[in-house]
Structure 1
Amino acid sequence: MHMIRKRHLLLSSLTLIYCAQIAVLAADAPTFDRHVVVVVWDGMRPDFVSEETTPTLWKLAHEGVTFRNHHAVYPSATQVNGTAMLTGVYPGRSGVIANYVYRPEIDRTRSISVETPTVVARGDELSGGKYISVPTITDLAQRAGGRTVIAAAKTVGLLLDRHAGVGPGKNSVTLFAGQSLPRDILAPIDAVLGPFPSAHLQRDAWTTKAVTDFLWKDGVPVLSVIWLGEPDLTEHESAPGAPPVLTAIKSSDEKLAAVLAALNKQAVRQTTDLFVVSDHGFSTIGRSIDLRKILTDAGFIAKT
């Protein structure tokens, strides 16, 4: 018997390697004796990984593999890169090209947020199910008979699997910012954890516990994606490296430790390929440009 070495990858921005990993797993192992878990730290930069701030990730990286030749797709926005991760294609092919776009066939009056449930549903209705124009890796895993779990503290989770609870995905679950597919999966989680919180760090804690304590209760599925909102949400309110951001990064590290503990408890850590990734980083800027004000001052009617 050949021993398969467990692979831990620290990816500080977008990588598509795990898409191929799942496809092989789903095709070659109908009993699904291996698992893939992807933990996303939204907005994380590689230079903030340290033994002091991120001891769990630091240890994991030194035990496994660090992917150094990496970058986000353009534009480096959450919805764009989340879709790229789960489809393996660039934005021009997936159809998700920005967080906010003008799609007059969906809403003629304003730009839309591409991951809003009503927008996604309308987009699929108008396109014959091709709002995202190519299958996601969750689609492929489900068609092969696998169960998937997507749990995101942010609304991007809906783009990662919008078919959970129906058809081939009838046993799969998507959580996104306190909402769920199928809808009835949320009640028992809320009954124990309470409603989805408003504070950033608590949202990540709620999402992680929903996975480890509920969605993995009867076994770890073939593919799980746990999308943490930190440090991104706190960085938007402060700056890279600010004390609140370092606290948020440490919080994400604690959530990673909880995921590892759950895998150990389920006795599947040795048969799990774990990826820690980020969708984009953050830059320090000298000033911002208020495009709406510039256009308004020039006599245009600017809406965003």
Structure 2
Amino acid sequence: MAETKFVIVSFDGLRPDLIDEQQTPNLFRLKKHGTTLASQRTIYPSETRTAFPSLVTAGTAAVHGMVGNKFVDRGASPQRYIDTADAVLLDRLDRESGGRLMTAPTLGELLARAGKSLAVLATNTPGTTRLFHHKAEMFGHVRLSGHFPEACTPKSVLDDAVARFGPLPPVPPAGEPDIDAQTLITTVFLEYLWPERAPDVTVISYGEPDTCSHLNGTGAAATRKVIRHCDAEFGRILDWWEAEGRANGVQIIALSDHGHITAHTRVSVAACLSEAGFHPGTAPVSGVDVVVVPGQVGALYLADRGRKQLARLVGALTEFPWVGPVFTAPGDEVEGVVSGTFASSLVLANHERAPDVYFAFRADDRRDRFGLVGGTFYDSSRSPGLGVHGGLHPKELASVGIVAGTAFLSGGHVSKVPSGICDVVPTILAALDMRPVSGMTGRVLSEVFATRGAFAPPPVSSTEVFETRSGNCLQRVQRTRVEATVYIDGGWVEATEIAAETTEVA
């Protein structure tokens, strides 16, 4: 009997509703082979370098501690601003913390303890590539970037890949589809990694269409071009799987880390806080009383963390027409320590590294110029009309989930039971006859296993809606619970009049 192995293929930022027979015929083909997880979603914040740690730890930000693409490290003296796109910095932080960069064991560590291997091939940022398996060096496991030598290990594998397939391609100019690197990592898997090493689990992470969406728009021609290209590269993997891999026990999981919605109205968080009497900055330095972490996730770190200053900040924030749900440290199971805010634990984001205030930008269901549902306020130098993510709109949280192989129900089965990115590792461990570890918030997707799913009743799910009010601002968060596992459906505020001076792109 063939030994069970897994290939996880990720499409960064791909919305599930962009999969169809014309644009993504190979993902569509995979759906026919296996089971589609029709209610798959990601975590909050819905950012790449929070979601992928959730993939490999089976835990939310509250578990693994990667609380955003960027955050303030309060454990350092002096405090410092961290951009997790930097692979060299992440390596240094892990060593300085005694191996506590992530505060939960990862899939690579668990496999290594069992004498198994994890390999990573990725075209994301160097930091993202490292976060898939940040301790690969310890175990001699493969981690290869399609662009960045500093994210690669061991050096002998990088040298072999360069000797056989040529130098790592440069990152293309801003806005151009990243084509060559997706082809390279696919080729490395098919012609080198699998034939010569056959890892127990392989992660193949295409860094597109995320970058193209950010710089062109989620439905733009350039974005659709790179979606088609990534799907074609995946088609090469699927051809191999149909011809060889499936018969040799390989299971395929296709996923994305988050979706995208469209930025329609630009604001400046820092400017608005300045007008409210604060002294904001992007780093914790003298004279800055609140650090505004750049990006689509609202993350505010106070110099004075006292309750009075925190309440003052929340009071100012909830007056702005661009602010969605607001979160502070838990006061109880629902509300934060400041009245009118939600507890960060409600969205499973409470961690010692978490900001004093999280907030999501206010989002809506308007359609963009490509006909895609989902729009939002945003804070960046980019033009309106481009793709963003990080918040609580259902289209940001919705993610791709397809499983196929002898372990899973086949023939185009569709599971409507809620599932999430944290469920991937528990499901893999179960298929490999390995025990999950304590602290994992994900669950085993037993309903889609071929041996049990056809006979076991589907897990019981229930929907929970929570509300809190600050002044005239009514906030809602909706979650779905499947037995003990919690999934975030979305977060909203009560519709209010939008300021007349704002601009939008239809």
User: TM-score under structure 2 normalisation?
Assistant: 0.50
Letter in 1 for 2:169: F
Q: Find the counterpart in structure 2 of residue 120 from structure 1.
A: 90
Aligned length: 270
Cα distance change, pair 217–116 in 1 and its aligned pair in 2 (3 A): same
Could you tell which deviates more after superposition, 150-159 or 188-197? 188-197
Letter in 1 for 2:186: T
Indicate the residue corresponding to 1:287 in structure 2.
Answer: 265
Which of 173, 178, 191 is matched with 2:142 structurally? 173
Correspondent of 1:163 among 111, 122, 135: 135
CA contact (8 A) 1:35 1:273 kept: yes
**CA distance 1:295–1:110, change in 2 (3 Å):** farther
Amino acid at match of 1:151: L
Aligned-partner Cα distance in 1 for 2:270–2:194:
45
2:281 equivalent in structure 1: 302
Instruction: Give 2:160's match in structure 1, choosing from 180, 183, 188.
Output: 188
Match of 1:278 among 250, 256, 269: 256
Structure 1 position 65 matched with structure 2 position 35: yes
Q: Secondary structure at the match of 1:36?
A: strand
Question: Secondary structure of 2:101's partner?
Answer: coil
Moved more, 78-87 or 294-303: 294-303
Q: Describe how 1:136-285 pairs up with structure 2 within 5 A.
A: 136-154=106-124, 155=126, 156-166=128-138, 169-170=139-140, 172-176=141-145, 177-179=147-149, 180-191=152-163, 192-199=165-172, 200-263=178-241, 267-270=244-247, 271-285=249-263
**Cα distance change, pair 284–173 in 1 and its aligned pair in 2 (3 A):** same
Higher relative contact order, structure no. (Cα contacts within 8 Å, ≥ 6 residues apart): 1
Question: Shift in Å at residue 219 of structure 1?
Answer: 4.2
Structure 1: how far apart are the matches of 2:5 and 2:14?
Answer: 24
Shift of 1:95: 0.7
Query: CA RMSD, aligned part only?
Result: 2.2
Residue 217 of structure 1 and its aligned partner are, at CA, apart by 2.9
What amino acid is the match of 1:73?
Answer: I
Distance 1:106 1:264, change over 3 A: farther
Give CA deviations for 1:76-122 in whole Å, capped at 9, x if unaligned: 00010000001001101111110000114458475211242332223
- Mapped partners of 1:228, 1:300: distance in 2: 40
Moved more, 55-64 or 291-300: 291-300
CA 1:264–1:68: 2 relative to 1, 3 Å: closer
In the superposition, relative to structure 1, how do residues 107 and 232 fare at CA in structure 2: closer, same or farther (>3 Å)?
A: farther
Structure with greater strand percent: 2
**Is residue 26–residue 238 contact of structure 2 (8 Å, CA) maintained in 1?**
no
Q: CA deviation at 1:301?
A: 4.8
Q: Determine if contact 2:9/2:204 at 8 Å carries over to the other structure.
A: yes
The alpha carbon displacement at 1:300 in A equals: 2.6
With normalisation by structure 1, the TM-score equals 0.82
Of 213-222 and 132-141, the range deviating more from structure 2: 213-222
Cross-structure match for 2:3: 33
Q: How far apart, in 1, do the equivalents of 2:240 and 2:198 lie?
A: 9
Structure 2 distance, partners of 1:65, 1:246, is 24
CA shift digits 1:143-163 (9 cap, x unpaired): 111122111101312011122
> What SS does structure 2 have at the residue aligned with 1:286?
strand
> Which sits farther off after the overlay, 85-94 or 139-148?
139-148
Greater alpha carbon shift after TM alignment, 68-77 vs 192-201: 192-201
Judging changes above 3 Å, is the alpha-carbon distance between structure 1 residues 33 and 243 closer, same or farther for their aligned structure 2 residues? Answer: same
Superposed CA offset, 1:236-263 (max 9, x none)? 0111111111111101101111222344
Unaligned runs of 5+ in 1: 2-31
CA distance in 2, matches of 1:103, 1:228: 29
Q: Distance in 1 between matches of 2:143 and 2:274?
A: 40
Q: Which amino acid aligns with 1:186?
A: L
204-213 or 136-145, larger mean C-alpha shift:
204-213
Looking at CA atoms only, which structure, 1 or 2, has the larger radius of gyration? 2
State the match for 2:47 in structure 1.
77
1:195, 1:63 → 2: CA distance? 33
Structure that is richer in helix per residue: 1
In 2, Cα distance between equivalents of 1:159 and 1:221: 18
In structure 2, stretches of 5+ residues that fail to align are 173-177, 283-293, 295-506
